Structure 1
Amino acid sequence: MSEEIKELEKLVNKLKFIASQKGGELHDLVEDRLLTDFKDLIPYAETTYAACLAWSKKNKELQLAKKQ
């Protein structure tokens, strides 16, 4: 396995962890504080979406690198 692929795997795993954390924060907002902190719903959702998008893009790059 090339060094580039190893580095991409580390980054993909890190981005997946971040996306999971952001998803957890969004979940906590909805489960625990939705009716009091609903104004925060859009910023939390946008941050979660951005984290998932970053993971998705880098994961696609990794999958392509593995095929080559």
Structure 2
Amino acid sequence: MADLTPEQKEKKKELAKYKRKVVEKAGVMHDIVEDTIWTDYVKLPQLSEEIGLAMKDVESFLDEHPYLR
């Protein structure tokens, strides 16, 4: 990535926050699948929806700031 302006650097930090939300939710899903699938499987549909919505936020942000792709 070429040199970024200060504003672009701030947007990159903002993008990292959106991505972190996705990764955190995916981590919860991973823990359920790995450790508690037999008792917590009912949580997976909601988590899946939340991950999908968080990914939409990431994609929308990237659409608005394509230089971050």
TM bucket (normalised to shorter chain) is 0.7 to 0.9
* Runs of 4+ that moved beyond 6 A: none
| C-alpha RMSD over aligned residues | 1.5
Corresponding residue number in structure 2 for 1:27 = 30
Q: Which SS does the other structure have where 2:65 is aligned? A: helix
What's the counterpart of residue 39 of structure 2?
A: 36
User: Which residue identity is paired with 1:25?
Assistant: V
TM-score (norm 2): 0.76
Deviation, 1:7, is: 2.9
Q: How many residues align?
A: 63
Question: Which runs of no fewer than 5 residues in structure 2 stay unpaired?
Answer: none
Residue equivalent to 1:13: 16
Between the two structures, name the one with larger relative contact order (CA 8 Å, sep ≥ 6): 1
Structure 1 residues not aligned, in runs of 5+: none
